[in-house]
Structure 1
Amino acid sequence: MIDPRILMFAALFVALIGAAFLSAILIIVLKPLLARYALARPNARSSHKAPTPQGGGIAVVGSSLLIVGVFLLETDFAVSSIVPIAVAAVMLAIVGVADDIRPLPAKIRFVLQTIAVAAVVWFSDVRVLPEIIPQSVEQAILILGGVWFVNLVNFMDGLDWITVAEMVPITAFVAFVWLTDIVPLQNIIPFSAMLTAASLCGALLGFAPFNKPVARLFLGDVGSLPIGLLVGWMLLQLAGTGALVAALLLPLYYLMDATITLFRRLAKRERVWEAHRSHFYQRATDNGFSVMSVVTHVFVLNLALAALAAVTLLWTSSVVQIGALAAGLLLVGVVLRRFSHPRMTAPLEVSR
């Protein structure tokens, strides 16, 4: 009898490779159309210097969901748990397409994002907070946090390779951490979440060559919004197994960069819904860091955060949980501080 771990690994590995190839093929097919109808022109707040096609998220999200659909329909695993998530992701992708072509009013974007996130929270039916907190209150908190997470992923997608550097470690962790025997097989997140993570990881790897600095293609809102939703759902599933600290550690760089920036802008009474260049990663390029240096910092930091998340799964005592979270906060703080100060050496390249 074949070990179920071998079967699961084979399925996830095939999903990753299949999504990578499909994503790359779709990009090659769509790129001429995107160059004609979805060109991102640089402005004062942009990190890129030349008009560049956007909309690569169509291939990334589309290939991910297609691979997930094919695998789940061809296996004995239930599809009911993933269908509402996929529908919500497609809805946000449509919102992103519309916004990429012609910016939507902030209120309309917020309402549609709230509906999508609320659907994910409702159908997930996951408890994360202590039972003493009413479920309705917890769901309201999760919806608010989910909307913020979707938006911060969108905000942080402003530099070549940064979404790849952030999301590949997260999705790879969610998909394959169980292989390390850190988590007992019976306690891991649902297979549908692991399969989605593997597929999204592969699709981002397929997108990566086209987004390598200097990028020939951007994700666009059509990619960043549903990616934020899907990754937020995966992290919610992870937190639902009792691994709340791990679910916070994995995206901690994005959470801290975007949240600190938000509060700084609120303190200055700026219009926080408008585009800007106040994020730490944006300030880093202004301070002499090359794009490759910034994304390398982010990628290495995320590997360290993933290691800390693994530690919290291996040792579940409160001391270890608090210590790992404190270590993660310290590591991210060091990187943010480094980004905030001018670099001594000149950058190798300055384009987005």
Structure 2
Amino acid sequence: MIDEGIYLLVIGVALLIVELLYFKLAKHFGIVDRPSARGSSTRVTLRGGGIIFYLGVVAYLLTGRSMYYIWFFLGLTAIAIVSFIDDLHSLKPKLRLLVHFLAMVFLFVQLGLFTVSSWLWLPVAFIVCAGVVNIFNFMDGINGITGGYALVGLGFLLYVDYAVHPFADAVFIKIMIVAVLIFCFFNFRTKAKCFAGDVGSVSIAFVLLFLVGKLVITTHDFSWFIVMIVYGVDGCLTIVHRIIMHEDLTKPHRNHAYQIMANELGMPHVSVSLIYMALQSVACAVYIVFPGYITLVAFTILYSIAYVLFMKKYFYLHRKNM
């Protein structure tokens, strides 16, 4: 049997080569990200580099490690395709949302959630999971934030799988970490060579949802969602904030805390991304020592207070630039 280290190295080299080939295609066909109302970039950059996350899952399946994840793969494929098309030509929100819900159906089949007793709470689960995917998409606006945040989450889940409660194939998580590291090499820098694009942010969100879902079902404990607490607080409270200000939620914006840090406060993108990684790492580390709902609730309250205080102090700068 091939050594696992060599196996991961071969896959990593293959993914790197495919990523570089994609860059050539993206440059040739003009698949680029231009400065917009939602993003915080100021230069034209290759878009869709996050396709490597989807390709990491493909590599895992093609090597014959396991076909057990086939329903998850079908859902990921559907959501990745519509997201990549949206990167090329903007699609109607209703079409994207429809495909997102279809992908969730495949995900829930994979997780075995369609049971007689589940029908009462399934609608809520659909809304929450679709919301998580879209929040990851909204949070993908500066260099390093998507890759860095995904690394923290995947690293935490790998530790849990080894040291706390086995729930998934550790090789799958490692391959995803390799894919994210390759992406970070091109994105986690002052002048990024590529952005994740919708295909990247949505795909990695779907992967994390799948892994957290497996862990929750295996342990019957929803508090594992602490792995997404920072994005959850920022994303949800930003939506609430926009509703209070009577803003159109379908329109682009720069209201997230990380965007105000990068735009109004002029903080380097990499520094802001490191802050978000650190906040999530602290929550995960404390949860390992003190697992359970108390820790989840405590960090939800703590980070919510921090968000509100930050907005009270600095949001006026954003309004001045509107």
Q: Normalization by structure 1: what TM-score?
A: 0.80
d(CA) in 2 for partners of 1:175, 1:14? 19
Pick closer, same or farther for the CA change 1:335–1:300 going to 2, 3 Å. farther
Aligned counterpart, 1:326: 297
RMSD: 2.6
Aligned counterpart, 1:40: 33
Q: 1:173 aligns with which of 136, 142, 156?
A: 156
d(CA) in 1 for partners of 2:249, 2:161? 39
d(CA) in 2 for partners of 1:233, 1:30? 26
Residue aligned with 2:25, SS: helix
d(CA) in 1 for partners of 2:275, 2:230? 11
Q: 2:105 aligns with which of 96, 106, 118?
A: 118
Do the aligned residues in 2 keep the contact of 1:93 with 1:226 (CA within 8 Å)? yes
Identity of aligned residues (%): 22
Shift in Å at residue 26 of structure 1?
Answer: 1.8
d(CA) in 1 for partners of 2:180, 2:309? 27
Pick closer, same or farther for the CA change 1:262–1:174 going to 2, 3 Å. same
d(CA) in 1 for partners of 2:287, 2:222? 7
Residue aligned with 1:32, SS: helix
Aligned counterpart, 1:317: none
Does 2:133 match 1:150? yes
Aligned counterpart, 2:285: 307
d(CA) in 2 for partners of 1:257, 1:23? 32
Q: 1:196 aligns with which of 161, 167, 172?
A: 172
Taking the TM superposition and a 5 Å limit, the aligned residue runs for 1:140-289 are 140-180=123-163, 182-183=164-165, 188-191=166-169, 194-211=170-187, 212-242=189-219, 244-285=221-262, 286-289=264-267
Does 2:89 match 1:102? yes
Do the aligned residues in 1 keep the contact of 2:223 with 2:293 (CA within 8 Å)? no
Q: Which runs of 5+ in 2 are unaligned?
A: 316-322
Aligned counterpart, 1:297: 275
Do the aligned residues in 2 keep the contact of 1:19 with 1:206 (CA within 8 Å)? no
Pick closer, same or farther for the CA change 1:272–1:342 going to 2, 3 Å. closer
Shift in Å at residue 136 of structure 1?
Answer: 0.7
Shift in Å at residue 148 of structure 1?
Answer: 0.6
d(CA) in 2 for partners of 1:289, 1:334? 21
